[in-house]
Structure 1
Amino acid sequence: MQRVNPVRTLRRYQLSFLKQDIPSGLSVFLVALPLCLGIALASGAPLFSGLVAGMIGGIVVGVLSGSEVSVSGPAAGLAVIVADAIAKVGSYEAFLAAVVLAGIIQIGMGLLKAGRFSSFFPDSVIKGMLVAIGLVIILKQIPHALGRDNDYEGEFEFQQLADGENTISEIYRAFETASPGAVAISLVSLLFLLGWERMAGRSTRAFFKNIPGALLVVFIGIALNELFRIAIPTWYLGDTAHQHMVRIPTLEPGQSLFSIFDFPDFSKFADPQIYVLGATIALVASLETLLNLEASDRLDRLKRISSTDQELLAQGTGNILSGLIGGLPITSVVVRSSANVYGGARTRMSAVFHGVFLLIAVFLGGPILNLIPLSCLAVVLIMVGYKLAKPAIFKKIYRDGWSQFLPFIVTVLGIIFTDLLKGVALGWVVGIGFVLYSNFQATFRVVRSGSQVTILFVKDLYFLSKLPLKETLSNLKPGDQVVVDGTRASFIDHDIYTMLHSFAETAETQGIQYELRNVERQRRRRKEELISE
């Protein structure tokens, strides 16, 4: 495995990579576009703020990132925090000051090497997070595919803020109110995308590999909707102002470019709650970023290792810039990152291209992009979700044993029925529980041959090993000849050490021959012992 160096990557960038990175960046752009707008709506922020965060997350964070495949932008997990924060501080401009402060804190965390804490999450939890996000994408996009757009694009929580429904009840309502036009567009788009990906996988022609199917699905969605407008008006999903369509804010004639930006109110730095809010955003955004970075490394086909500290520095820089020009907080996002990997990205330039496409869309392509039905974009996201949550993944992890499957499935269910951070926390608790259980179960080995019993310590003994060791001693029989061999343990917990020596009196009264060999509280291993191991 190789560790990512962003400067080196950019210097060695080859034009031949454009064949993979531009189509991938375009696919990510189509996925990110509705999510940027939806997260802004869910946050109670200006629509343009989500697009600003997406552009900076792609162009700025993309260049500085510690990963070659991670893509950053506004995060659904911060939507509730943002909405509450804006209400507390009284204005969006005041909230932007907290975003700038959060970026400064993240840079400090990167300089202090705080990224190393991502290694404390078990692999089964990271795999569970990826699968859960895939399932949540599918469940959340089914209503949009059926023409029900009451919930915001990009909201991943089980309990929905927009309409009071939850993930399951929203699907039920969507089937009740399904739009024939949206269903038709979704079915045609799905069949086309399945066929296109199958041809791309089997054909040797570069045409199928270099043209992203997501782009063609967008053209199909626009064409079908315009056909419905002419031939079947009752199936028509509406125009640019309708909720079933992408709705990019456009510049009005005579409107200044700077009038669409918001700027932070730095006078709010005198308010103590701005510092609390900035620290909260920094911690939550950093945690999501580190989790998503671990997940992105799992997806990377070239198995590169991302620099977590470099990523925190990049995220901090991105959040400072985003706050300065009116954008939402930025994190690394698995939905965009997975779309990037499955789109065939080779390097970080695909993330940069996606940011450039967002920039072009906002300032030049708004009227055209507002003709895209959300139902065809929902199909693109459903395909991404399926790739993350294939049934084969469940089978593979189940075969790895309960110590892997239980934390995995707890994480999956936790994320689906709560939200990302709570689900990961539940899985982490279960995963760490298995790690601790496995460790104290394997700290010693008991070998019995008739009445000869050897209790061999295979590693250091901490407090959690006290109970199984106590049970082993209590199961000894009169007449046993017992040797407790502590040669391989350089540390023995005080309670365990005391228990082992106290048992000598018990053994004598029960007729057990009992010997402690190299059982010491703490000692340095002899050179010959280390060699023998």
Structure 2
Amino acid sequence: MPLTNSLRTFQHYRTTYLPNDLTAGLSVFLAGLPLCLGIALASGAPLFAGLVAGIIGGIVVGLLSDSEVSVSGPAAGLAVIVAESITAVGTFEAFLVAVILAGIIQLIMGLLKAGRLSSFFPDSVIKGMLVGIGLVIILKQIPHALGRDNDYEGEYEFSQLADQENTLSEIYRAVATASPGAVAISLIALLILIGWDQLSRKGIRFFQVVPAALVVVLVGVGLNQFFGHYLTSWYLGDSNEHMVRIPVLAAGNGLSSILDFPDFSILGDTHIYGIAVTIALVASLETLINLEAIDRIDPLRRVSSGSRELMAQGIGNILSGFMGGLPMTSVVIRTSTNVYSAGKTRLSTIIQGILLMVSVLAAGSVINHIPLASLAALLIVIGYRLARPALFAAMYREGMSQFIPFIVTVLGILFTNLLIGILVGLAVGYLFVLYTNSQASYRVIRDGKNVLIKFQRDVYFLSKPRLKETLRSFKPGDSILVDCRYANFIDRDIYALLVDYALTARTLGIDYELREVTQHKRNLPTHAAI
């Protein structure tokens, strides 16, 4: 079914989209390549495992996904789980079996329509996730822009376990040890990106067709080589520290010589099944939340099927496990790069997957001359677009019930990590949803001494504090009518409070009537009054 829909998309493909998709595919490739390598490094896995997941995520999942702009690949949110799992099972080859099993679980979840759960994520949390990721991208790329490349690309945790630093202390040290060559490259790259975008918006064809990301990379390579010849103190060199570093295939060796394959003898160890379930659940949660966010930044506002996405991710993870790759999810960072580079269809995702494959097979020695400072500028611009200051003002204007879950999600992502930040945001968001619903469950209408309490929906225990305050506010001589005809369900605590107040009302000299008050109207007969 997903493949049929994908083929239908290409049958009706508009050729006017092709320049956009080519440009976006190149931009996602340039941004995603170091992320694939960095996440593999953080996971304690072979570097090629990250590239394999990126290639399959681009080509296979890109073809099968229901989203036209989603980009899949290895995710930073799974890095800790992967590292601990590899240690637990002993070898990376044994861990690959867990990736395959996780893919099978995701495929089953998709078939069971579990993707519908994505509709239960509050909008404030989704917006907070996008802004939080944007701010994290900016903060984590500042050190790379200043030439401090100690941390791997894709390291988005606040506390950096590798060097005992955190996001803020890393920026401080980067400022103190800034490399003039890296600063020059990143500043010029930022100016190119900003100017290119403005000239493109003015309709100048050259700037619309030529990818700004490609120009930034070429200028970065050229500047670094210029520094090497004429300004050696600014030269970044061709070291592993400051350059993109992709493994290069040795002459005469086939691809199979560097790939890892699953060790199915681990199937007798029950631990592997627990690891598989953990990976499947965490990867599915990230994917569904990301998919909700992706649909909000899609300029064409297309709505994707979460269940179909889980099926696509499941197939991708099965193949990734068989071919020695890391587990993958839909990832917002690469997807955001795709959207903000004007990607229109899944072709851009597939193109970046093909470029990743070509880079592994033939272009490693060329790509290894790209300074990380150039790519830092590209990602900083993407981060700014995700976290524009106007978004904070817009959320504030929507009221505290929207702003507080939004800002809690943002801060949670900034000061912990993506997964914990989202979970904290969801908890706060759901509390506000429940609180808001409880506040709107009934209305109080007063006309002199006559008071009508009209229940407008089902009433749960969260409405009890407000209802107690309402009942306590009545004075002797008031005439109260509690109308519950429009509530199909009344919580036991609310029911007891309403019934018990009848005695209080008689004591205070309050005329008090209940109309159709019952806990379960479908199961119990209705009352005219109690």
The normalised TM-score by structure 1 is 0.95
In 2, Cα distance between the equivalents of 1:495 and 1:136?
44
Partner residue in 2 for 1:175: 175
1:42–1:161 Cα contact (<8 Å) kept: no
Amino acid of the structure 2 residue aligned with 1:109: M
Q: For 1:477-488, what aligned pairs fall within 5 Å after superposition?
A: 477-488=475-486
> What does the per-residue CA deviation read over 1:230-267, in whole Å, with 9 as the maximum and x for residues that have no partner?
1012211112x431001111111222221011101011
Higher deviation after alignment, 158-167 or 276-285: 158-167
Q: For 1:509-528, what aligned pairs fall within 5 Å after superposition?
A: 509-523=507-521
> What does the per-residue CA deviation read over 1:127-159, in whole Å, with 9 as the maximum and x for residues that have no partner?
000000000000000001111111110111001
Q: For 1:61-460, what aligned pairs fall within 5 Å after superposition?
A: 61-202=61-202, 204-239=203-238, 241-460=239-458
In 1, Cα distance between the equivalents of 2:493 and 2:398?
35
> What does the per-residue CA deviation read over 1:68-104, in whole Å, with 9 as the maximum and x for residues that have no partner?
1110001011111111111111111111111111111
- Corresponding position: 1:45 with 2:48: no
Partner residue in 1 for 2:527: none
In 2, Cα distance between the equivalents of 1:15 and 1:261?
37
Amino acid of the structure 2 residue aligned with 1:387: R
SS in structure 1 opposite 2:159? Answer: coil
1:143–1:149 Cα contact (<8 Å) kept: yes
- Moved segments of 4+, more than 6 Å: none
SS in structure 2 opposite 1:82? Answer: helix
In 1, Cα distance between the equivalents of 2:144 and 2:58?
25
Post-superposition offset of 1:5: 4.3
Higher deviation after alignment, 51-60 or 514-523: 514-523
SS in structure 1 opposite 2:160? Answer: coil
In 1, Cα distance between the equivalents of 2:271 and 2:500?
56
1:152–1:162 Cα contact (<8 Å) kept: no
Post-superposition offset of 1:419: 0.3
Higher deviation after alignment, 412-421 or 84-93: 84-93
SS in structure 2 opposite 1:478? Answer: coil
1:110–1:310 Cα contact (<8 Å) kept: yes
The number of residue pairs the alignment matches comes to 520
In 2, Cα distance between the equivalents of 1:354 and 1:111?
28
Post-superposition offset of 1:433: 1.1
> What does the per-residue CA deviation read over 1:32-67, in whole Å, with 9 as the maximum and x for residues that have no partner?
011111111111111111111110000000000121
Partner residue in 2 for 1:528: none
- Corresponding position: 1:474 with 2:472: yes
Q: Please give the root-mean-square deviation of Cα atoms over the aligned residues, in Å.
A: 1.4
Which 5+ residue runs of structure 1 have no aligned equivalent? 526-533
Amino acid of the structure 2 residue aligned with 1:412: V
Partner residue in 1 for 2:18: 18
Partner residue in 2 for 1:529: none
Amino acid of the structure 1 residue aligned with 2:93: E
1:448–1:454 Cα contact (<8 Å) kept: yes
In 2, Cα distance between the equivalents of 1:498 and 1:249?
70
SS in structure 2 opposite 1:473? Answer: helix
Amino acid of the structure 2 residue aligned with 1:142: I
Amino acid of the structure 2 residue aligned with 1:138: I
1:118–1:291 Cα contact (<8 Å) kept: yes
In 1, Cα distance between the equivalents of 2:45 and 2:5?
35
1:67–1:307 Cα contact (<8 Å) kept: yes
In 2, Cα distance between the equivalents of 1:29 and 1:235?
27
Post-superposition offset of 1:7: 4.1
In 2, Cα distance between the equivalents of 1:431 and 1:492?
24
Post-superposition offset of 1:160: 1.2
In 1, Cα distance between the equivalents of 2:497 and 2:416?
45
Amino acid of the structure 1 residue aligned with 2:173: R
Amino acid of the structure 2 residue aligned with 1:146: L
- Corresponding position: 1:490 with 2:488: yes
In 1, Cα distance between the equivalents of 2:487 and 2:90?
60
SS in structure 1 opposite 2:265? Answer: helix
SS in structure 2 opposite 1:84? Answer: helix
